[in-house]
Amino acid sequence: MDMIAKKAARSKRVFSLELKSKNAVSTASFGNGKGDRVTIEGTIGTLEHAGFVEDTVLELAGTVGVLRVDLSREDLAKPSQKSRERGI
């Protein structure tokens, strides 16, 4: 997945999760008929690296998988709306 290109094409955040084996997924729930909620739980293994790719994608790499989120350093430095409402 080319997250950087997809980020430029969308205004919403995207993520990718790559796992070496389906055994790394402990739970995958795709709604229960009453809503569209999706839950994916698992492990990326022991953390090997956490950092930014080109300052625009947060990457968490483990022994059995990699999680990438299009979240920049600047995004992390900004207070969220909830934080502003709480005065944090």
- The pLDDT tens digits for 58-88 are 999 999 999 999 988 888 887 776 666 666 6
Look up the pTM and report it.
Answer: 0.71
CA 65 to chain centre: 12
> What is the number of alpha carbons within 13 Å of residue 13 lying toward its C-beta?
10
φ, ψ for residue 66, nearest 5 deg: -135, 130
What whole-number distance in Å separates Cα of residue 59 and Cα of residue 53? 7
Q: Please check the confidence at residue 28 and state whether its pLDDT lies above 90.
A: no
Residue 65: both structure tokens together? 């998988």
